[in-house]
Chains A and B, each alone.
Chain A
Amino acid sequence: MINLDIIKKTNPAMIAISNHREIIQSILDYDFLIKRENPSIKCIITGSKNYERYYFGNKQIVIPCFQRTTQIPHDLIKQINYFVNLSSARRVVKEIYNLVGLFPNLIGGMIFAEGVTEQDALNIKQISVDKKLFIVGPASVGCILPGVVKLGPIGGVTAKQIIDAGLTTPGSFAVVSASGGMTNELINLASSYQTGISFATSVGGDRFPITEPREVFLDLERDSKTSCILYYGELGETYEYEIASLVSSHKVTKPILAYISGAISNIFENPPQFGHAKAIAETKEETAQAKRKALVEAGVICPDTYSEFVAKFAEIASSMKKVTISDATMVRYNQMNARKKSLFITSLPGPDEYSFSLEDSYAFIVGSMFLGRKLKSSELENLIDLILKTAVDNGPHVSGAVNTMITARAGRDLATSLASGVLTIGPRFGGATNEAARIWFEGVINNIDPKDTVEKFASLRQPILGIGHLKYRVDNPDPRVQSLLEVTKGFNKKLFTNYALSVEKITTGKKGNLILNFDGAIASVMLDVLSEKEKLSTGELERLIESEFFNALFIASRTVGLLARALDQKRLDEGLFRLPEEDVKEVDV
């Protein structure tokens, strides 16, 4: 149900379904023009990007994007109160079901798509009744309450259109229309007389609009700003008779100026389907003429031609208060012209805004830099400290160290020696942490039985990254793993570590050295700390895995170890290394 009082009191926080650039930007422009401090679009459901760049005024901003609503972090879920559904007709219903189930503070939204099936529209209507939501559409350009909210492309998608139509300041006329284009035509008609708009919406031209004209009229009757209602209707369906009955029963007493189009249908021997889905008169009462007659009889001003409608409007508008756009709004509007798109964007602080203090630990700084925000928990700081300390070196025999030592002995510089060692880090050496995190994550999130995970890798004849060690065995455990596992002691759930340990239990049953290794333990413990202590949502965890976050700490720490190996070789300066003949043997394959 529509309720303008609630809309007026609500500070809009919207989720946009589908990244429709012009429409989303126009909502942000509107926010800026009416001096809202923050953009009202909070996130976008769209393809594969993590963020989309937009402007707020002339400042570049990024809006978080998610592929699925389930990835949205908890605090954002609580904020959202409107949806702007710009997706195609086929996705609309599914998305609506997702949305209403997920957002506890949702009050309403708009559906842009044309071609939503009648059955789907009726289903959504039922949801809107059950959940007391205000939903305009399908096939709607949304609604606008000047000075408060612009929900959809209504009123235009450029700042110039918004300014030209005077939509930043509330006026006296409300617009209700079956057509998106005619909504804007009437808004512009009102602005050409400087009378302004108190509220405007397009209910959409489908057969079953979710918010019906009747409901909007009743609400506008209560709205103190609205002095007169402009209505545009068409042939097809019978919603106008409900308006007529509201007027004749004095439930709506404000003056209504209406135009009902579709008289042209008469000259067709066999009337076609006009532009909108409902625009066809199958019975006499659905014709434009019959509806006009009913409205006029009820007391609505409803001329036969559009030119009379415009003339009548001019007459009414002449007695209305004029509204103007304030100078402050024009200043903001002019600011928006100074937009320039940068080549890169970054969420990390610049050199002048270095925000760490000398009291912060190195682990705190490294973790905060990698996460892109300051750490919240001492557990994560301690874990990072542990990883940085324990991963710094693992002897001279491992791939990275060998490469660095050979390069240093070849007389190359320090950076080159380091680089050649770092380049060995990957799925087989040091870089298994991220893949192990992926295995634990998917196992827990998709509720996969650890047996099935083990079986899957066995049938693919692939090792489970994070499991297995050359030296340590179940009866001779890796001390570093033991100290890592200490971290999660006392955690509530430790879902990921428990999962990793269940996998280990199965694999060590097969072979003694198939234990949870250092990489696998970092992965599981880190997942638990991030989820339980840093309160990251599953969507955020998924993104960290996608960005290879779990390998970053190893690389950072081992860089120190590799530098040490290079410096060590320089110090000893043995000269160029060459493998002894017997260390490379030719074999037949």
Chain B
Amino acid sequence: MARKKSTEYKTKVLLYRQLGEEYGGLSFNTLHNSINKLRSQLSKNITYVVKVDQGIKKRLKSGLMRVKVTNEDVIKFIQDKKNQYYSFIIEPYLDYPKDNERYLSLNLEENGINVLFSLKGGVDIEQNSTGVIKLIYDEKNNDDISKKLKVPASRLESMMKVFKENNFCFLECNPYIVKDSKIIFLDAACEVDDTAVLNLPSGSWQEDDFVYGQNILKTEEENIVTKLSQSSLSSFNLSVLNPNGSIGLLLSGGGASLVIADEFYNLGMGGQLVNYGEYSGNPSRQETIIYTKAVFSLLLKSKSSKKIMVIGGGVANFTDILATFTGIIDGMKGRIDDIKKQKIMFFVRRGGPNQEAGLAMIKSFFDESQIPNQVSGPQLSISQFVENIVWEIK
């Protein structure tokens, strides 16, 4: 669907592999790896750098990395952090003169790959941006750029190859150093284009390499929806906002879902939203069932005393309302007792192909199940729809 952050570890593996250089780093994921195995991989004769590897910036300043520590300190660092963080990178510590630090970033933009670089890199690059030079990469000017960067031309070419072949969109190496014509990446941050996942060279990144910043681990429901989206031609999206909120959002359409969520926010109800999410692209009935179950699971888990489920969207171009509503109803069927017990109220607003039949069907489903509901078509504007819900909550 979009750009995703990859771990620093995977980014470096891909870079060093193309450069034909050995990489001595290790990754540690609390969900998949054992700490004893890691212990056996570390040597007591050298020192290490250990960092949280979840796409978080400014780690040194926030205490998410330690430099020049023993093998035992590495283990201790991980054990201290493992309740908040799950992904780590461990590398042998390398001593080098600080003023050799350089900065390089590559970003795919409309006009091509934009290169930002400075021969004076390091953690304070944002403050010292005066020495940063910007240019656009082209294979034809590879040699010129490599001279400016003071990097061997073949190395720069290899790096650009990694960038293109692995569908990187963004790569930041800050700092890196050049030693004996070898490039050493002390830090690397990367975003990849996840739509390329089925068309990558072997050994490239996979969905497991994605990290989402901060210390969040995704909920079971979010993971289900991520998997669903990856395996479907339609699109699904789910993010938890306030797990104990009072408003669940079962929305369709990338645009209309944002407009609806925004209207809650504009009316001061943003904090009451359990989730943001949307389905679109005419999903099948079975896919709609899976998505519906995930959203309902979140709302039913909320500890809020008043609960509302919003089934909303704009006027679809091609998503069949009757078919998707059939899926939504099937998705709710197993939870009707819970829905009634928790006195969840439903607000529906939707338009599109077969809207009359779809809206009538969901209305009669709620009425027959004795579930309180308000069902409307597109004649009710999105903003009026949201206002009605907010009024109901207040």
**A residues within 8 Å of B by Cβ?**
22-23, 26, 88-90, 114-119, 122, 125, 141, 153-158, 161, 165, 177-185, 187-189, 192, 205, 207-208, 232, 234, 259, 261-264, 266-270, 272-280, 288, 304-307, 309-310
Collect the chain B residues with CB atoms within 8 Å of residue A118's CB. 3, 108, 167, 169, 193, 195
Query: Of B195, B255, B318, B382, which contacts A89 at CB under 8 A?
Result: B195
Contact present for A274 and B258 (CB under 8 Å): yes
Collect the chain A residues with CB atoms within 8 Å of residue B159's CB. none
Contact present for B317 and A156 (CB under 8 Å): yes
Among the interface residues B110, B212, B278, B320, which one has the most CB atoms of the partner chain A within 10 A?
B110
The segment from B73-81, B96-104, B201-209, B347-355 found at the interface with A is B347-355
Collect the chain A residues with CB atoms within 8 Å of residue B305's CB. none
Contact present for A306 and B383 (CB under 8 Å): yes
Collect the chain A residues with CB atoms within 8 Å of residue B169's CB. 118
Contact present for B266 and A188 (CB under 8 Å): no
Query: Of B193, B241, B258, B378, which contacts A267 at CB under 8 A?
Result: B241
Would you give the shortest CB distance from A25 to chain B, in whole angstroms? 11
Would you give the shortest CB distance from A287 to chain B, in whole angstroms? 12
Contact present for B318 and A157 (CB under 8 Å): yes
Quick check: is B148 within 8 A (CB to CB) of the other chain? no
Which residue of B has the minimal Cβ distance to A177?
B255
Which residue of B has the minimal Cβ distance to A234?
B258
Query: Of B110, B254, B256, B353, which contacts A122 at CB under 8 A?
Result: B110
Collect the chain A residues with CB atoms within 8 Å of residue B2's CB. 207, 273, 276-278, 280
Contact A180 B255, CB 8 Å, known A118-B193, A310-B383? yes
Which residue of A has the minimal Cβ distance to B382?
A306
Q: How large is the interface on B (under 10, 10 to 19, 20 to 34, 35 or more residues)?
A: 35 or more
Among the interface residues A115, A234, A278, which one has the most CB atoms of the partner chain B within 10 A?
A115
Contact A183 B354, CB 8 Å, known A119-B193, A263-B266, A304-B266? no
Would you give the shortest CB distance from A547 to chain B, in whole angstroms? 33
How many Å lie between the Cα of A153 and that of B199 in the bound state? 28
Contact present for A270 and B254 (CB under 8 Å): no
How many Å lie between the Cα of A185 and that of B257 in the bound state? 12
Could you show 19 A-B contacts with beta carbons less than 8 Å apart? A22-B320, A117-B193, A118-B193, A119-B108, A119-B196, A122-B108, A155-B317, A180-B280, A181-B253, A185-B314, A185-B351, A207-B2, A234-B255, A261-B262, A264-B273, A272-B276, A275-B254, A277-B1, A307-B386
Would you give the shortest CB distance from A24 to chain B, in whole angstroms? 11
How many Å lie between the Cα of A11 and that of B195 in the bound state? 36
Contact A158 B353, CB 8 Å, known A273-B2, A277-B1? yes
How many Å lie between the Cα of A208 and that of B110 in the bound state? 7
Quick check: is B284 within 8 A (CB to CB) of the other chain? no
Collect the chain A residues with CB atoms within 8 Å of residue B379's CB. 192
Contact A275 B278, CB 8 Å, known A179-B253, A264-B258? yes
Contact present for B212 and A184 (CB under 8 Å): no
Quick check: is B365 within 8 A (CB to CB) of the other chain? no
Query: Of A125, A192, A263, which contacts B262 at CB under 8 A?
Result: A263
How many Å lie between the Cα of A185 and that of B264 in the bound state? 18
How many Å lie between the Cα of A573 and that of B109 in the bound state? 89
Contact A232 B318, CB 8 Å, known A158-B353, A264-B265? no
Contact present for B382 and A185 (CB under 8 Å): yes
The segment from B37-45, B232-240, B334-342 found at the interface with A is B232-240
Collect the chain B residues with CB atoms within 8 Å of residue A182's CB. 253, 255-256, 259, 314
**Sample of 6 further A-B pairs with CB below 8 A, known A118-B3, A188-B351:** A158-B354, A181-B253, A185-B256, A185-B259, A267-B270, A277-B2
Question: Contact mask B148-171 → A, CB, 8 Å, 1/0?
Answer: 000000000000000010010100
Contact present for A276 and B254 (CB under 8 Å): yes
Query: Of A157, A177, A280, A305, which contacts B353 at CB under 8 A?
Result: A157
Would you give the shortest CB distance from B237 to chain A, in whole angstroms? 5
How many Å lie between the Cα of A118 and that of B113 in the bound state? 12
Would you give the shortest CB distance from B374 to chain A, in whole angstroms? 18
How many Å lie between the Cα of A232 and that of B351 in the bound state? 18
Which residue of B has the minimal Cβ distance to A116?
B195
How many Å lie between the Cα of A155 and that of B280 in the bound state? 16
Contact present for A188 and B315 (CB under 8 Å): yes
Query: Of A90, A177, A267, which contacts B265 at CB under 8 A?
Result: A267
Collect the chain B residues with CB atoms within 8 Å of residue A156's CB. 315-318, 352-353
Would you give the shortest CB distance from A567 to chain B, in whole angstroms? 62
How many Å lie between the Cα of A190 and that of B228 in the bound state? 35
Contact present for B198 and A90 (CB under 8 Å): yes
How many Å lie between the Cα of A125 and that of B315 in the bound state? 29
Collect the chain B residues with CB atoms within 8 Å of residue A188's CB. 315, 351, 378
How many Å lie between the Cα of A276 and that of B273 in the bound state? 20
How many Å lie between the Cα of A184 and that of B278 in the bound state? 17
Contact present for B213 and A141 (CB under 8 Å): no
Contact A114 B270, CB 8 Å, known A155-B317, A184-B317, A264-B261? no
How many Å lie between the Cα of A183 and that of B266 in the bound state? 22
Quick check: is B271 within 8 A (CB to CB) of the other chain? yes
Would you give the shortest CB distance from A366 to chain B, in whole angstroms? 46
Contact A275 B258, CB 8 Å, known A156-B352, A188-B315? yes
How many Å lie between the Cα of A577 and that of B258 in the bound state? 86
Quick check: is B214 within 8 A (CB to CB) of the other chain? yes
Contact A264 B270, CB 8 Å, known A90-B198, A181-B313, A275-B278? yes
Q: Which 7 A-B pairs have the closest CB atoms?
A: A179-B255, A275-B254, A181-B253, A307-B383, A182-B255, A185-B314, A272-B239
Collect the chain B residues with CB atoms within 8 Å of residue A205's CB. 254-255
Collect the chain B residues with CB atoms within 8 Å of residue A273's CB. 1-3, 237
Query: Of B233, B317, B381, which contacts A310 at CB under 8 A?
Result: B381
How many Å lie between the Cα of A259 and that of B313 in the bound state? 17
Contact A157 B384, CB 8 Å, known A117-B193, A177-B255, A276-B255? no
Contact present for B383 and A305 (CB under 8 Å): yes
Contact present for B108 and A179 (CB under 8 Å): no
Quick check: is B174 within 8 A (CB to CB) of the other chain? no
How many Å lie between the Cα of A242 and that of B353 in the bound state? 35
How many Å lie between the Cα of A304 and that of B280 in the bound state? 25
How many Å lie between the Cα of A304 and that of B265 in the bound state? 11
Quick check: is B387 within 8 A (CB to CB) of the other chain? yes
**B165-198 interface with A by 8 A CB criterion:** 167, 169, 193, 195-196, 198
Quick check: is B281 within 8 A (CB to CB) of the other chain? yes
Contact present for B256 and A181 (CB under 8 Å): yes
Question: Contact mask B349-382 → A, CB, 8 Å, 1/0?
Answer: 0011110000000000000000000000011011
How many Å lie between the Cα of A185 and that of B233 in the bound state? 23
Among the interface residues A141, A187, A279, which one has the most CB atoms of the partner chain B within 10 A?
A279
Contact A154 B317, CB 8 Å, known A90-B199, A115-B195, A275-B280? yes
Would you give the shortest CB distance from B52 to chain A, in whole angstroms? 14
Collect the chain A residues with CB atoms within 8 Å of residue B112's CB. 122
Contact present for A306 and B195 (CB under 8 Å): no
Contact present for A22 and B353 (CB under 8 Å): yes
**B1-29 interface with A by 8 A CB criterion:** 1-3
Contact present for B266 and A181 (CB under 8 Å): no
Quick check: is B393 within 8 A (CB to CB) of the other chain? no
Collect the chain A residues with CB atoms within 8 Å of residue B318's CB. 22-23, 26, 141, 153, 156-157
How many Å lie between the Cα of A208 and that of B169 in the bound state? 12
Quick check: is B46 within 8 A (CB to CB) of the other chain? no
Collect the chain A residues with CB atoms within 8 Å of residue B198's CB. 90
How many Å lie between the Cα of A158 and that of B352 in the bound state? 9
Contact A161 B214, CB 8 Å, known A263-B262, A267-B265, A310-B381? no
Collect the chain B residues with CB atoms within 8 Å of residue A268's CB. 239, 241
Collect the chain B residues with CB atoms within 8 Å of residue A232's CB. 255
Query: Of A116, A154, A161, A181, which contacts B314 at CB under 8 A?
Result: A181
